[in-house]
Amino acid sequence: MAKRAVVESVANTGIGKVRSRVQIESVQPKISGGRFPVKRIVEDAVKVEADIFVDGNNELSAVLLYRKEDSEKWSETPMAREENDRWLGEFRVNEIGLWKFTIQAWIDHFKSWQRDFKKRVEAEQDVSVDLLIGLELINKVQKKAAPRDKEKLNKIMEKLNNKRNKAEANNAVLSDELSRIMAKYPDRANAAVYKELMVVVDPKIARFSAWYELFPRSASPLAGKHGTFKDVIARLPYVADMGFNVLYLPPIHPVGNTFRKGKNNSTLPEKGAVGSPWAIGGREGGHYSIHSQLGTLQDFQELIAKAGELGISIALDIAYQCSPDHPYVKEHPEWFRKRPDNTIQYAENPPKKYQDIFPLDFETENWEALWDELKNVITYWIKQGVKIFRIDNPHTKDLSFWEWVLSGIKKENPDVIFLAEAFTRPKLLYRLAKIGFSQSYNYFPWRNTKWELTQFITEITRTEAKEFFRANLWTNTPDILTEYLQIGGANAFKVRFILAATLGANYGIYGPAFELCVDKSVAPKSEEYLDSEKYEIKKWDLDSPVSLKPLITRVNQIRNSSVVLQQDYNLEFFPVDNNNIICYGKHNDDYSEILLMVVNLDPVWAQAGWIELPLGKLGISDQRPYQVHDLLSGDRYLWNGPRNFVRLDPAKQCAHIFRIRRYQRTEKNFDYYL
């Protein structure tokens, strides 16, 4: 791309002289003035819009320029002018990786002349001089045109020079052929170019995923026996049958012995206590090593391969922290913070204490070596076949480190994605997403009322956040058993699951605790599980009659077969005159597929209300009935008009997932529903 006057840069701040009559403003999508890339999925269309205008009354032309970061050649596509000097264009990202785009706009003297010429002809004015001006413009293009276009322009110029046939000359000036040829050879000598913006393009699983969390050490079929990777392989069909495409494993590394925690986070562990997987490191090694009771590296690679055969990706936990027994403690004591008594500071989140964990000190003077080592950890596991990482507590580490390490990893391995486990303040949460995290934990577990859910989901799907923040809606985690789940019984688990799986294209559950509806906390007002799996091996009864496996399986079947549930931008809430019932829909761009979710947020009592739908917007006639097909129960109902009554008794069914089928009439006058 030729060097031009760049808009919104130093060139336009009054420093020096820059000739740029064309103005380009309010470009979207753009994050923090272009500081960070927007996010897209491979094969997405990136829709770009901008205000483009010029002094006076000249016609403009504009193109959208785009390229993959590793390509030197720019591709371009024209932009179209809409109302009030707003211009639109789009390009498709057909490869994973970092892309760049910008806008180039210029005064189009030919289009300006052609427009005015048409007005003069319609006003029956003398256009002889105007024809001479046009000939000059065409002649400039004719000199640089390809042979075939040169020949066509010569013929058009002959018509313009023919003073005996003014009508033929006028028609030639206004012909589509002349417009098309002239547009191929624009004069961009004084074009304005916007600064380059970025798009990071991820694999499709970054937008649409269903995560299942499993502790490998609890995968053994025998009670009390430490599970192995081979046991997890045997568990894969169970996970696949439910329809999950990501299996997330907590840390698989050796667990430290010093200050090892016992049952329920006790500092006085019983004999044989297995400790917390997040207390990483021991005599066997650290972040590059595998807990010996889980198996070998070869076993882990076999797990990745077997999971892949079932359409499941393995997600690995990366927790940048160490047990007191980790090799780093002896080899690099400078990476840890010392207290005045010369002991290493253990992790705390007052009043909680984690004596079995040493946090790394990101303010160490030896920070560059620390950064390099931590990047090497991720790179090592990528080489073993891992493509998805769940990062533990990234909000407690240096943000500049994350920006450096994530950009470097993504440049070398663009198909790798990262989930940020950061339940933190909104601005910090968003910043982590901006600097490179592909998905993010969020506040969904604590959003229970209709108002809370509507406000939260609207923010992340309808504001600027939608361009960089991909929420992964988790129902629960080993650390989070919400009050709603503790007091609502099995129906509360059903409600939260359906909300997570249909409000979000990305969601996750900590199982089997979730499908078995485990709801006992260690203490009143605590969100810690009683007898937490974080500190002991569990034996789960996967065949229990209380299991939610049938519901989970059915909802995932619906998600996997419905494109509209595989994205978030298309969500819309609809009014219901009962605050205990929430109604929302997802649709494709032309509304040919519409799913309508109706959920009773009260896990105890039956609730009823009237739903109001914008039938015109949905392409539904208010003069004909339309069918709603409940994909959960199989029931079908005929509705009429925008307002319809629903009643949900959680003892029977806590939600509907309706597919709306619109009435149609065939040429042979047979009635049917789409």
DSSP conformation letters of 385-425: T--EEEEE-GGGS-HHHHHHHHHHHHHH-TT-EEEEE----
SS3 91: strand
Tokens of 287: 């972040």
Catalytic residue among 213, 325, 421, 515: 421
Judge whether 25 counts as a catalytic residue: no
DSSP conformation letters of 486-538: HHHHHHHHHHHHHHHHHH-SEEEEETTTTTTT---BSSTT--SBTT-TTSS--
Is the distance from CB of 551 to CB of 497 less than 8 angstroms? yes
Q: How far is CA 501 from the centre of its chain?
A: 15
Q: Of 397, 438, 432, which Cα lies nearest the Cα of 416?
A: 438
Judge whether 421 counts as a catalytic residue: yes
Query: Measured between alpha carbons, how far is residue 34 from residues 31, 102, 194, 426 in Å?
Result: 5, 11, 11, 20
> Where does 576-619 show beta strands of DSSP type E?
581-587, 594-600, 607-612
Phi and psi, residue 98, nearest 5°: -95, 130
Length of the chain equals 674
Catalytic residue among 392, 467, 533, 536: 392
How many Cα atoms sit within 13 Å of 449 on the Cβ side? Answer: 5
> Where does 203-257 show beta strands of DSSP type E?
209-213, 246-249
* Element at 381 (helix H, strand E): helix 367-383
The C-alpha atoms of residue 40 and residue 466 are separated, in whole angstroms, by 10
Single-letter code of the amino acid located at 359: P
Active-site residue list: 392, 421
